Amino acid sequence: MAKNRLIGGSIWEEYSQKVQDLMNNPKNMGEITEEDAKAMGGKLVVADFGAESCGDAVRLYWVVDEKSEIILDAKFKSFGCGTAIASSDTMAELCKGKTVSEAVKITNIDVEKAMRDNPSTPAVPPQKMHCSVMAYDVIKAAAASYKGVDPEDFEDEIIVCECARVSLGTIKEVIRLNDLKSVEEITNYTKAGAFCKSCIKPGGHEDREYYLVDILKDTREEMEQERLKALADAKISGSNEEASFEKLTVVGQLKLVESVIDADIRPMLVADGGNLEIIDIRQDSEFIDIYIRYLGACSGCASSSTGTLYAIESILQEKLSKNIRVLPI
């Protein structure tokens, strides 16, 4: 457990250690003056963005080298919750060293991922995901100010939820990353559909091209097709019969194990705040040993070596091979 997280179901367990550290000690909070920018040999850019949905606001400062358009320094002021501070600080750090055109490509998903302690565990609880959207919008505002254009000129994605400024690409990626199965989960993670609700399904006060119910359905179908393709790729080349699990290469075995875990195991773990990753697969004459590492809540759970482990092993044995053993490390 992270050193600053409280024991006994504290809300802080839902925040990564990086987020907690940045809430209390942001590295890039402050102001850049015209004099500061001149001393660095760059142009000062200042942009503001406020989120009407939650009342938070952020001001972004850039110092841009006008010859190369590289962002020499970035700072921010944030008026909002601790998550907004952490997101803004991470956003400013990601901007440094990039050109203005590269910075515009930074998304709220990039900001959230950069705040994670490990790649598979979200950095913040679902209801706080919208704070990183604000960071995404203020970057566009700064780039537009520098280039003298409208911020919408940088919008290369379709906006599904105008209230929370959530794009189609973001919604689809969040569904995939977190294996979401309901519109309510999408709203919890992105705030899409949380306000006027016209983007949830047809029949609201405003007709839209894309609705969350359809995006969820289409994305889940794409995920299933990808899973089936992974199963097909694991067949023996030139044979019409599916290869026995034992005869597959380690790569083929890994693909099948991952597909079963994603479909039948991971959702169960994620629902309780946990997860797992596959470390190795080793095979001898009798057993196929699959070494896993528990993540999140699973890493400290008493049942990780009893009931949960038995359930994981039973599913893999049923779906793939009776010779599988699952060994946590």
Question: In whole angstroms, how large is the CA radius of gyration of the chain?
Answer: 23
Answer whether 153's CB lies under 8 Å from 144's CB: yes
CA torsion 185→255→295→315, rounded to 10°? 80
Residues 6 or more apart whose CB falls under 8 angstroms from that of 75 comprise 28, 29, 30, 31, 32, 60, 61, 92
Direct distance between the N- and C-terminal alpha carbons of the chain, in angstroms, rounded to an integer: 16
Q: What distance in Å separates the CA atoms of residue 1 and residue 117, rounded to the nearest whole number? A: 11
CATH architecture for the domain at 241-328 = 2-Layer Sandwich (3.30)
As a whole number, the mean pLDDT across the chain is 85
Token reading at 108: 């709220």
pLDDT in tens, 96-136: 999 999 998 887 778 888 999 998 888 888 767 767 677 77
270-293 pLDDT, tens digit each? 888 899 999 999 988 889 999 999
Residue 159 contacts residue 167 (beta carbons within 8 Å): yes
Under a CB-based contact definition with an 8 Å cutoff, are residues 86 and 181 in contact?
Answer: no
Q: Where in the chain is the domain with CATH 3.30.300.130?
A: 241-328
Closest CA to 118 of 293, 242, 239: 293
Q: What is the pLDDT of residues 168-200, one digit of tens each?
A: 888 998 898 888 999 999 999 888 998 778 899
The answer for 26, left when phi > 0, alpha when psi is -120 to 50, beta otherwise, is beta
Any idea which residues carry the catalytic annotation?
54, 131
Q: Is the pLDDT of residue 10 over 70?
A: no
The DSSP annotation for 97-116 comes to TSBHHHHTT--HHHHHHHT-
Residues of the chain with CATH 3.90.1010.10: 11-153
Would you identify the CATH topology of the domain 11-153?
Sufe protein. Chain: A (3.90.1010)
SS3 190: helix
Q: What percent of the chain has pLDDT over 70?
A: 88
Pick the range with the lowest mean pLDDT from 3-12, 78-87, 92-101, 259-268.
3-12
Whole-number Å distance between alpha carbons of 327 and 281: 10
> Global pTM?
0.52
SS3 label, residue 139: helix
**pLDDT class of 53 with cuts at 50, 70, 90:** low
Q: What is the 3-state secondary structure (H, E, C) of 19-38?
A: HHHHHHCCCCECCCCHHHHH
pLDDT band at 236 (very low <50, low <70, confident <90, very high): very low
